[in-house]
């Protein structure tokens, strides 16, 4: 009789746990503790045998002597490493259709968020490499591209939940070869797009901001006349000009694709002249040549560690770029620009220890807290600290080792990748596929 009761209670507890797991609202109160793991906090050193407590979507506590709350789901992390979710400061994943609206030299009216899709497999693969957050940028086919979107890889949830709602708005600029139409053959019957040269790229950016000042002035005049009680036709809302105006008003951060040092200096000049601010240079292959200038202007740099020579403007790239930028005070991150590289940005971070001798912690920062700062989300992500989002990854070994792999990836306290779960899911998918094909076969033979 007693045994039966216990069994009943256990069954009820399991049912309740399942119900809680299935219900997002209840999940707010769910508590998980990862114990006995080596915790790489990034911002507060390494805890050799530490505990990380996740409550709901946030990290509730982290430390060596943290008590495990009663009723917590405990994951024994003995022999494992806990690392923050990796942040990719340059991604084009999960975008449906072309990542470039290339029809105009300035397409600041288009938004990546409008074309995001949950049907891309890449984000799931990235979760398996420990990447949890990315800046999804418009392509580099025009001087001023579309508005980018910061998203978390909440695979299985609708796109509306991937979007980090309170993240800064950002936009893609591009310098160098890519926005030069001279490099592209126009389709039959279509005229070559302006600009064809680097000079033209600079002019497009300068002119766009001059136009934006005019646009703002028109609205100011309208508001003034309206307040005087005049019946006046409002100016047309122009989504492109609104975007440019929002850049001037510091409501949109500029992340500019840039390879060459002279062009980065050019954009800094145009920014000073027309009144906007560059938040980050993307790729920044010659960043080591202008690191001091970037540091003074507080412009971040997201770069590749060892990609070079693939076109003329990439000939001066060196693997020591990261270390030289870091040592000169530039906020530096490693970025992917690639579905493939986005799965192992930890390797690129690790290479910065070999090329230029960054410390282990400096290397870890390259794919965590530094990109978090670059995206202005370091109050939420990028390190393991109480109060931050529970975007955590359990690794089998040190994430800077190429022998380590990801066991479990959490975003805001929810598991979005788990190696064991993945293997189980493959069986389910194989079963589902077989059933669907059998159903279809049955219909065909009927």
Partner 1 sequence: MKLGRPIVLLLILAASTAKGDAPDVWAITNGTVHSVSGPEIRGGIVVVRDGLIEAVGAKIPIPPDATVIDVAGAHVYPGLIDAYTSLGFAGDEVDRAGVTSGARATSPAGSSEPTAAFLAAERIAIKDDDADARRNIGVTTIVAAPAAGIFAGQSVVLNLGTGPAAANVVRSPAAMNAGFRTRPTWTFPDSLMGVVAHFRQTFLDAQHHAAARAAYERNSAQPRPAINADLDALQPVLRREMPMVFEAQSAEMIRRAQAIAREFNLRLIIAGGRQAWRMPQELRDVPVLVSVNWPKTPSDREDREEQPIRVIRDRVLGPTTPSVLAKNGVPFALVTAGASASDFIPGIRKAIENGLSADDALRAITLAPARIFGVDRQLGSLERGKIANVIVTDKPIFDKGAKVTRIFVDGRQSRPRPVEETKESSAVDGTWNLTVLSPQGNVAVTVTLRLESGHVSGTFSGDRGSGEITGGFYSHPTLQFTIAAQMDAETHDWVFRGTVSDDTIAGTVSTNLGSFQFTGGKSE
Which residues of this protein are in contact with partner 1, per CB under 8 A?
A: 95-104, 107, 109-112, 114-119, 122, 125, 138, 146, 158-159, 184-188, 190-191, 193, 230-234, 236-239, 338-340, 343, 429, 432-433, 436-437, 439-440, 443-444
Return the beta strands (E) in 153-269 as ranges: 169-174, 252-258
Tokens of 118: 């949950």
Query: What percent of the chain is helix, strand and coil (3-state, nearest 5)?
Result: 40, 25, 40
Q: Compare residues 103 and 197 and give the one whose CB is closer to partner 1.
A: 103
Tokens of 430: 């194989």
Q: For residue 260, what are the contacts with CB-CB under 8 A and spacing of at least 6?
A: 175, 176, 285, 286, 313, 316
Q: How far apart are CB 243 and partner 1 at their closest, in Å?
A: 10
Q: Compare residues 30 and 138 and give the one whose CB is closer to partner 1.
A: 138
Q: Compare residues 39 and 201 and give the one whose CB is closer to partner 1.
A: 201
* Closest among 311, 293, 364 to 334, alpha carbons compared: 364
∠ CA 55-57-59 to the nearest 5 degrees? 55
Q: For residue 149, what are the contacts with CB-CB under 8 A and spacing of at least 6?
A: 111, 112, 113, 116, 135, 136, 163, 170
Q: Compare residues 74 and 109 and give the one whose CB is closer to partner 1.
A: 109
Q: Compare residues 332 and 335 and give the one whose CB is closer to partner 1.
A: 335
Q: How far apart are CB 228 and partner 1 at their closest, in Å?
A: 13
SS3 of 294, please? Answer: helix
What is the spatial distance between Cα 190 and Cα 418, in angstroms, rounded to a whole number?
49
What is the spatial distance between Cα 366 and Cα 348, in angstroms, rounded to a whole number?
9
Q: Compare residues 193 and 332 and give the one whose CB is closer to partner 1.
A: 193
40 strand-pairing partners:
46
Q: Compare residues 41 and 107 and give the one whose CB is closer to partner 1.
A: 107
Q: Compare residues 94 and 278 and give the one whose CB is closer to partner 1.
A: 94
Q: How far apart are CB 435 and partner 1 at their closest, in Å?
A: 9
∠ CA 405-406-410 to the nearest 5 degrees? 165
Q: How far apart are CB 366 and partner 1 at their closest, in Å?
A: 21
What is the spatial distance between Cα 382 and Cα 390, in angstroms, rounded to a whole number?
10
| Max CA distance (Å), the chain | 87
Confirm if 29 and 35 have CB atoms less than 8 A apart.
no
What is the spatial distance between Cα 390 and Cα 330, in angstroms, rounded to a whole number?
27
Q: How far apart are CB 245 and partner 1 at their closest, in Å?
A: 15
Q: How far apart are CB 116 and partner 1 at their closest, in Å?
A: 8
∠ CA 333-335-340 to the nearest 5 degrees? 150
Q: Compare residues 80 and 111 and give the one whose CB is closer to partner 1.
A: 111
Q: How far apart are CB 12 and partner 1 at their closest, in Å?
A: 29
Q: How far apart are CB 41 and partner 1 at their closest, in Å?
A: 31
Q: Compare residues 134 and 291 and give the one whose CB is closer to partner 1.
A: 134
Is residue 125 left, alpha or beta, with left meaning phi > 0 and alpha meaning psi from -120 to 50? alpha
Q: How far apart are CB 441 and partner 1 at their closest, in Å?
A: 9
Q: How far apart are CB 132 and partner 1 at their closest, in Å?
A: 19
* Closest among 305, 383, 363, 339 to 40, alpha carbons compared: 383
């Amino acid at each position: 009789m007693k045994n039966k009761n216990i069994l009943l209670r256990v069954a009820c507890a399991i049912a309740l746990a399942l119900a809680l797991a299935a219900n997002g609202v209840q999940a707010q109160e769910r508590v998980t503790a990862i114990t006995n793991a080596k915790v790489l906090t990034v911002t507060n050193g390494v805890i050799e045998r530490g505990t990380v407590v996740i409550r709901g979507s946030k990290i509730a506590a982290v430390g060596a002597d943290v008590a495990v709350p009663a009723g917590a789901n405990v994951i024994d992390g003995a022999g494992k490493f806990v690392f923050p979710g990796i942040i990719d400061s340059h991604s084009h994943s999960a975008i449906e259709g072309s990542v470039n609206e290339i029809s105009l030299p300035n397409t600041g009216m288009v938004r990546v968020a409008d074309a995001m899709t949950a049907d891309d497999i890449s984000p799931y693969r990235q979760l398996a490499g420990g990447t949890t957050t990315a800046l999804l940028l418009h392509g580099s086919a025009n001087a001023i591209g579309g508005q980018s979107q910061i998203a978390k890889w909440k695979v299985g949830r609708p796109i509306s939940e991937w979007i980090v709602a309170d993240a800064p708005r950002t936009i893609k600029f591009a310098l160098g070869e890519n926005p030069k139409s001279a490099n592209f053959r126009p389709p039959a019957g279509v005229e070559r797009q302006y600009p064809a040269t680097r000079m033209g790229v600079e002019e497009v950016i300068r002119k766009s901001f001059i136009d934006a000042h005019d646009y703002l002035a028109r609205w100011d005049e309208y508001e003034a006349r309206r307040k005087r009680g005049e019946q006046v036709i409002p100016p047309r809302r122009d989504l492109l000009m609104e975007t440019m105006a929002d850049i001037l008003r510091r409501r949109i951060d500029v992340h500019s694709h840039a390879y060459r040092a002279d062009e980065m200096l050019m954009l800094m000049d145009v920014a000073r002249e027309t009144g906007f601010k560059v938040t980050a240079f993307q790729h920044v292959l010659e960043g080591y040549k202008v690191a001091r200038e970037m540091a003074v202007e507080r412009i971040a740099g997201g770069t590749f560690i060892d990609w070079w020579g693939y076109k003329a403007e990439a000939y001066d790239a060196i693997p020591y770029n990261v270390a030289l930028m870091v040592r000169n005070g530039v906020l530096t991150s490693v970025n992917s620009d690639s579905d493939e590289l986005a799965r192992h940005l930890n390797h690129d971070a690790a290479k910065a220890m070999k090329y230029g001798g960054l410390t282990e912690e400096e290397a870890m920062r390259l794919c965590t807290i530094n990109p978090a700062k670059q995206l202005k989300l370091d109050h939420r992500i990028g390190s393991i600290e109480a109060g931050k989002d529970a975007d955590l990854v359990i690794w089998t070994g040190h994430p800077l080792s190429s022998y380590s792999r990801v066991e479990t990836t959490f975003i805001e306290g929810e598991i979005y990748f788990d190696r064991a779960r993945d293997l189980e899911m493959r069986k389910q998918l194989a079963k589902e596929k077989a059933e669907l094909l059998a159903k279809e076969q049955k219909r065909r033979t009927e």
